[in-house]
Amino acid sequence: MAVTTVTAAGATAGGRAVTTSDESRVPGENKAGWLLFTPFLVLYVVFLIGPAIYGVVMSFFHTTLIHTGLGSWAGGANYMEAFKSSDFWWSMWHTTYFTLMTTPPLVVVALIMAVLVERVRHFRWFFRLIFFAPYVVPSAAVGLIWGFLYAAQTGLFSTWVSQIGITPPNWLGDPSWALPSVALATIWWTVGFNFVLYLAGLQDIPRDLYEAAAVDGATPMQQVRSITIPLLGRTTLLVTILQILASLKIFDQVYLLTAGGPNFTSRPAIEYIYDIGFTDYRAGYAAAASMLFFVLILLVGAVFLVVSRRQQRGV
């Protein structure tokens, strides 16, 4: 299921063409519009808005997956329990830690890749292919491949590390290595996406700026630093927030590579919700934990909004 961000420009673009005089509405236009919109609205309400509201309701009940229906009234008990649960807060921390570990490299490496690819004249398609291809690989295949790369003794990484004379860590089995190892796999897997967003951003930088700078004797490095990077500011902002939101939703890779282990030391928030809801069948409590997790995402989104407003005003 895809989750999305729309910058203010995108949202208003949708409404722009239609803001002209409502009073000149042709008879039947309103009806036609609603007819065309209805299939979407029905699916949207039944499968998104509905469940969202039902989720809020559920979080106040002792709902279980064993029986249908809401179960008995719980009031704030589910929320109180989540607030007091160290397992819950640990999972929130693992999600946050993973986000902190993955976001900077996923933004910086993507930027470096895009700037470099823009510089070479030949075989651009080849680099695009190599960097973007992992992004379309299903997480389950990524899990199988990286599970093998990280395997103790027989894995490629352990062998390389031993060859340079260091005892390889137990990549996925050591509590202090598990999440960083998953983060590394994630960087390989998803950097291609940010890379392509940066490539798109680079297209919008006018060429004459570089030419003018070159005439003034600016070295390529100076051009990158004083033209490319500042003019990519908007793209960087977009890539960063999308990456933060994507990283906060970490589940697949952890579930597949470490199953949250060892001893839950790498279990992220969504896997906690999954465990509580689908292993313990405590749907009401899991819904409450989901709401708290959602609040975290909204807070991050709000911070982004403030930052981007400020940045746009600054420009």
Residues 294-313 that bind other proteins (CB under 8 A): 294, 297-298, 301
Alpha carbon distance 169, 147 (integer Å): 14
Binding map of other proteins across residues 97-136, x = CB under 8 A, - = no contact? ---------------xx--xxxxxx---xxxxxxxxxx-x
**199: its two tokens:** 């490539």
Task: For the CB of residue 26, give the shortest distance to other proteins in the complex, in Å.
Answer: 7
| Cβ(294)–Cβ(245) below 8 Å | no
Alpha carbon distance 116, 118 (integer Å): 5
Q: Residue 44's CB: how many other CB atoms inside 10 A?
A: 12
Phi, psi of 290 (to 5 degrees): -60, -40
| Cβ(113)–Cβ(131) below 8 Å | yes
* Site stretch for other proteins (CB under 8 A), options 73-81, 173-181, 194-202, 306-314: 194-202
Query: Which positions from 197 through 256 interact with other proteins, judged by CB under 8 A?
Result: 197, 199-200, 203-204, 206-208, 210-211, 214, 219-221, 234, 238, 242, 245-246, 249, 251-252, 256
- Quick check: 65 binds other proteins (CB under 8 A)? yes
- Which helix H or strand E contains 296, and what residues bound it? helix 283-314
List C-alpha distances in Å: 288 to 59, 61, 80. Answer: 4, 9, 9
* Site stretch for other proteins (CB under 8 A), options 1-9, 72-80, 100-108, 167-175: 1-9
Query: Which positions from 266 through 295 interact with other proteins, judged by CB under 8 A?
Result: 270, 273-274, 277-278, 283, 286-287, 290-291, 293-294
Alpha carbon distance 191, 239 (integer Å): 11
| Cβ(284)–Cβ(73) below 8 Å | no
Alpha carbon distance 289, 293 (integer Å): 6
* Site stretch for other proteins (CB under 8 A), options 14-22, 76-84, 93-101, 168-176: 14-22
Q: How far is CA 312 from the centre of its chain?
A: 23
Eight-state DSSP code of residue 315? -
Looking at the Cβ atoms of 34 and 93, the one nearer to other proteins is 34
Task: For the CB of residue 32, give the shortest distance to other proteins in the complex, in Å.
Answer: 4
Task: For the CB of residue 310, give the shortest distance to other proteins in the complex, in Å.
Answer: 18
Query: Which positions from 30 through 49 interact with other proteins, judged by CB under 8 A?
Result: 30, 32-37, 39-41, 43-44, 46-49
| Cβ(102)–Cβ(186) below 8 Å | yes
- Quick check: 63 binds other proteins (CB under 8 A)? yes
Looking at the Cβ atoms of 32 and 80, the one nearer to other proteins is 32
* Site stretch for other proteins (CB under 8 A), options 73-81, 88-96, 150-158, 175-183: 150-158
Size of site (CB under 8 A) for other proteins: 126
Tokens 């008990």 -> residue: 77
* Site stretch for other proteins (CB under 8 A), options 90-98, 141-149, 173-181, 306-314: 141-149
Q: How many CA atoms lie within 13 A of 116 on its CB side?
A: 10
- Quick check: 167 binds other proteins (CB under 8 A)? no
